[in-house]
Amino acid sequence: MLYLYIEMNVMTSAVTASAALSAAALPFARATPARLQAAAAISRSTRTRRIDLVIAGPRGQVGSALCRQLARQQAALLAGAGLDLRLLAAFDRHGLAFSLEGLDPPAPTPFAPRQPRDVDALLDHLCRPRAEPALLVDCTASDDVADWYPRLLSAGVAVVGANKRANSRDLASWRQLQDCASVCGTPYRYETTVGAAIPLLGPLRDLRLRGERVLGLQGVLSGSLSHVLHRVHAGCAFSAAVAEAQALGFTEPDPLEDLRAIDLARKLLVLARECGFALEPADIHVEALVDAAKVQASGLDAALRAQDRRWRERVAEADRAGERWVVLAEVDAGGGRIAAQRVPATSSFAALPPGQNLVRIRTDLQDAAPLLLGGPGAGPEITAAGLLSDIVGAARELAWRHG
């Protein structure tokens, strides 16, 4: 039986685990002697700060890509930025790995089976007094993981997330997270919740900090739906285009979250709040691409195939009119709307390559010529790259705060 037991007191902490958490059972190999010697040599010559990382969801597409990128960059970040990013733990619903000296991502060794108290014990370890600076990286789409954010931020544990659920709940919950991070001085970064690695949330904050009022925002914000409709215009069946987007890792694990625009509504709500619009989830009106009742009655594959003819006809009609179908998301202080719309083929939204995002931001200073931000908006590698950027930024803050 796996049971991660953590005993704490003011000055020391002892971490023990059963044989299931031995080196052979870890999902990542322990740090090699050569790697540790190299780290020690760099530590002696430059000022470094160890930051413990915990990755939730390391075996998903985004999590796996992040582990590969982290493995490639660890030595460079240690040498160039003085950041000793140690992978302390990694876990998902089925397994957990833990090593005080640091796991070495990635490696093929299987996870040890996860027991009910394991993650609670890990959280206790991260939040204990005088703990090493630590950072949770959330690569999941889990409400359970999002529920931990207030405790972690209040304890000084930084959070970097691609999980949209934490910031798309009711407005009071969103404000609680912002207050926890602000009052406790804890880094909280979630740039990849919207637009993968495209810098959108940071620029919106900067506009407001310099006193520029955001009036509204319009954009193609779903890389998955952008890919689907681009492929449909190229002659691909709607059902086949959805399957292709899912295979490429563009959709959420459940593609219905994309097709019903649930995922997109979360993105739009996150953006709206960064614009300064005090909106609730109910303020976003969504026109889904598929009927949930039909999916429930006949299954997803059959429901998608039933849409193939309709989408062929819609695309043919739009082509004759010199237009293209895009899924547009729009929001201002009064609320938001998401729907598939026909736009002129010459519009910047229509000309987007598959999987790309584009956002048009209107402000009191940039209304006649709005600000445009765009780039790749979907895919595991690009999302992982955005996460790694946020990890580095949050780790720098932690290193500075802990001296």
- Residues 227, 267, 273, 362: which is the catalytic one? 267
267 is catalytic: yes
Quick one: three-class SS letters along the chain? Answer: CCCCEEEECCCCEEEECCHHHCHHHCCCEECCHHHHHHHHHHHHHCCCEEEEEEEECCCCHHHHHHHHHHHHHHHHHHHHHCEEEEEEEEECCCEEEEEEEEEECCCCCCCEECCCCHHHHHHHHHCCCCCCCEEEEECCCCHHHHHCHHHHHHCCCEEEECCCCHHHCCHHHHHHHHHHHHHHCCCEECHHHCCCCCCCHHHHHHHHHCCCCEEEEEEECCHHHHHHHHHHHCCCCHHHHHHHHHHCCCCCCCCHHHHCCHHHHHHHHHHHHHHCCCCCHHHEEECCCCCHHHHHHHCHHHHHHHHHHHHHHHHHHHHHCCEEEEEEEEEECCEEEEEEEEEECCCCCCCCCCCEEEEEEEECCCCCCCEEEEEECCCHHHHHHHHHHHHHHHHHHHHHHCC
Residues taking part in catalysis = 267
